[in-house]
Chain A
Amino acid sequence: EVQLVESGGGLVQPGGSLRLSCATSGFSFSNYWMHWVRQAPGKGLEWVSRINNDEYYTNYADSVEGRFTISRDNAKNILYLQMNSLRAEDTAVYYCARARPSGYDYWGQGTLVTVSS
């Protein structure tokens, strides 16, 4: 069974940092591109970042470029999102998602990040 489990969310002050993790199982992690998608409270879905299967290729939304870093550990089957210089507008549920060329077929349950003083 394919599973993605996010962790690392919480309450952080503006300007602070958090590292999200997405532990995966049930599939060959190193064969898939992985993405982070977020959803602000009561709002729609926003793509955040992606990483290719061997870590050499990453992309970021303009809203997080230069502040967030996506990475992965293919030996441990874990995806990461390092978030620095956090802002109130980064408050959201963050989902990791497994990407096919045709969309996301598996998602984690999400982890809530709240940026507030």
Chain B
Amino acid sequence: DIQMTQSPSSLSASVGDRVTITCRASQDLSNSLAWYQQKPGKAPKLLLYATSRLESGVPSRFSGSGSGTDYTLTISSLQPEDFTTYYCQQYYSIPWTFGQGTKVEIK
């Protein structure tokens, strides 16, 4: 199984800040990496796929980059609705595995 190591596990930031979340895979994913946002009590929501492709309807302040084993989610200017939890996921091989999650909290 491919292990996904996401960091940090939590971070504190303010509205308007730029934040970056990192995901490292135990093997090359060939860009088969997605990011999800999950709000409390709700199902995850797809934000980006194929490392950097924005899902329809997702604000452009979300962006992704990376290659090989290292990937990044960046929120360019945090909005109040962005304070929640984010997960990376690899779909390169079964089982599709997730990072442990990053909780973005208000400073």
| A105, closest chain B residue (CB) | B46
What is the CA–CA distance of A47 and B32 in the complex, to the nearest angstrom?
16
With a CB–CB cut-off of 8 A, which chain A residues contact B91?
A: 101-103
Contact (Cβ within 8 A) B87 A44:
yes
Chain A count of residues within 8 A CB distance of the other chain? 19
Q: A44-B101, A103-B34, A103-B49 are in contact. Are A59 and B94 (CB under 8 A)?
A: yes
Contact (Cβ within 8 A) B95 A59:
yes
Contact (Cβ within 8 A) A103 B46:
yes
Beta-carbon contacts of A19-59 to B below 8 Å, as 1s and 0s? Answer: 00000000000000001000000001111001000000001
| Interface assignment of A88: CB less than 8 Å from any CB of chain B | no
Closest chain-A Cβ to B25's Cβ sits at a distance in Å of 15
Beta-carbon contacts of B63-107 to A below 8 Å, as 1s and 0s? Answer: 000000000000000000000000101010011111111000000
| A63, closest chain B residue (CB) | B95
What is the CA–CA distance of A45 and B44 in the complex, to the nearest angstrom?
9
Residue numbers of B with Cβ under 8 A of A are: 32, 34, 36, 38, 42-46, 49-50, 53, 55, 87, 89, 91, 94-101
Contact (Cβ within 8 A) B49 A46:
no
Residue numbers of A with Cβ under 8 A of B are: 35, 44-47, 50, 59, 61, 95, 100-105, 107-110
What is the CA–CA distance of A109 and B34 in the complex, to the nearest angstrom?
20
Contact (Cβ within 8 A) B43 A44:
no
What is the CA–CA distance of A103 and B94 in the complex, to the nearest angstrom?
12
Contact (Cβ within 8 A) A103 B87:
no
Contact (Cβ within 8 A) A47 B46:
no
With a CB–CB cut-off of 8 A, which chain B residues contact A107?
A: 43-45
